[in-house]
């Protein structure tokens, strides 16, 4: 009997507690894994993908003996070295600078007044109201002001790769530069559409001459994490209605 009671107590009474402990441990484990995953992750990119491309292999062709022309050459003899094929590289000079400013204001006012007075009322009913005066004033005013301003500057250099060539000859370029400094990483990414006519003899082009340009400068590491809101704070920020 005693052993049966112990078995019943052990199999029945401890089962809810074990299930609750397992659930709490699962929640804690998920939270820890999510926090660890957020400590060292590469920030997602907004630039065109992929960020690099390998040159297209050229099929081997027999050489034309007896002349300076070679059919298997990737470029004509007197052609410049400007990029025009997938896998070619191009240097982008980042010279971005934007400034915007806006001010607005409103002013309105209104003022009204009225008065009334009861003069002599001899031999009339309610003559006790003689000399009674009534005055009313109303005044309303509104004044509002607003302003907004933004200044941004981005200077630097990044070399990108041609990842696609459009039918009209324009080049879709994309690239990334990573810099690691003291347990932190800085990511500079760029992509856009380049017109080959804007490429200089030094194989460079200004970022202001690139269409559909996407530029980003992000970082990862403990310094970047210190500037971010914690995942639990973000959770409550999205859930709480106030």
pLDDT higher at 20 or 114: 114
Structure confidence at residue 158 (pLDDT): 94
10 Å CB burial of residue 92 (0-12, 13-18, 19+) is buried
Range of the domain at 107: 102-148
Tell me the pLDDT tens digit for each residue of 66-97: 555 555 555 555 667 788 889 999 999 999 88
| 224: helix, strand or coil | helix
Structure confidence at residue 113 (pLDDT): 77
Q: What is the mean pLDDT of residues 132-140?
A: 75
**Residue 66 shares a structural domain with residue 90:** yes
pLDDT band at residue 165 under the 50/70/90 scheme: very high
d(CA 128, CA 131): 8
Structure confidence at residue 2 (pLDDT): 47
pLDDT band at residue 170 under the 50/70/90 scheme: very high
Structure confidence at residue 16 (pLDDT): 57
Structure confidence at residue 109 (pLDDT): 84
**Residue 64 shares a structural domain with residue 172:** yes
**Residue 184 shares a structural domain with residue 215:** yes
pLDDT higher at 59 or 219: 219
Structure confidence at residue 39 (pLDDT): 45
Tell me the pLDDT tens digit for each residue of 175-210: 999 888 887 888 899 999 999 999 998 999 999 999
**Residue 66 shares a structural domain with residue 168:** yes
d(CA 83, CA 168): 15
Structure-token pair, residue 242: 């106030």
Residues in the chain: 242
**Residue 60 shares a structural domain with residue 173:** yes
Q: State yes or no: pLDDT of 118 exceeds 90.
A: no
**Residue 64 shares a structural domain with residue 165:** yes
Tell me the pLDDT tens digit for each residue of 3-62: 554 455 455 555 555 555 666 666 666 655 555 544 445 667 788 888 888 877 766 555
Q: In the chain, how many domains are there?
A: 3
**Residue 157 shares a structural domain with residue 237:** yes
**Residue 170 shares a structural domain with residue 94:** yes
Phi, psi at 215, each rounded to 5°: -125, 135
CB 178 within 8 A of CB 52: no
Beta strands 133-165 and 89-117: pairing type?
antiparallel
Structure confidence at residue 91 (pLDDT): 94
Q: How far is CA 137 from the centre of its chain?
A: 54
**Residue 175 shares a structural domain with residue 201:** yes
E strand spans, 65-206: 89-117, 133-165, 171-181, 184-194, 204-206
Structure confidence at residue 115 (pLDDT): 74
**Residue 238 shares a structural domain with residue 159:** yes
pLDDT band at residue 220 under the 50/70/90 scheme: confident
């Amino acid at each position: 009997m005693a052993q049966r009671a112990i078995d019943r107590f052990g199999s029945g009474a401890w089962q809810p507690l074990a299930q609750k402990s397992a659930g709490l441990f699962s929640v804690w484990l998920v939270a820890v894994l999510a926090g660890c995953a957020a400590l060292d992750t590469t920030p997602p990119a907004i630039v065109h993908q992929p960020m690099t491309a390998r040159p297209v292999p050229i099929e081997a062709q027999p050489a034309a003996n007896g002349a300076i022309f070679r059919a298997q050459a990737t470029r004509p003899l007197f052609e410049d070295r400007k990029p025009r094929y997938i896998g070619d590289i191009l240097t982008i000079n980042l010279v971005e600078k934007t400034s915007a400013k806006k001010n607005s204001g409103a002013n309105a006012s209104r003022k009204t007044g009225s008065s009334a007075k009861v003069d002599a009322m001899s031999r009339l009913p309610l003559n006790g109201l003689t000399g009674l005066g009534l005055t009313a004033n109303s005044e309303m005013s509104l004044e509002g002001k607003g302003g907004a301003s933004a200044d941004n500057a981005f200077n630097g250099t990044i070399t990108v790769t041609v990842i696609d060539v459009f039918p009209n000859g324009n080049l879709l370029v994309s690239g990334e530069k990573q810099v690691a400094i003291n347990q932190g990483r800085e990511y500079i990414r760029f992509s856009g559409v380049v017109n080959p006519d804007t490429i200089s003899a030094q194989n460079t082009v200004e970022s202001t001459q690139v269409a559909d340009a996407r530029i980003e400068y992000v970082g990862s590491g403990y310094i970047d994490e210190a500037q971010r809101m914690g995942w639990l704070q973000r959770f409550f920020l999205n859930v709480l209605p106030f």
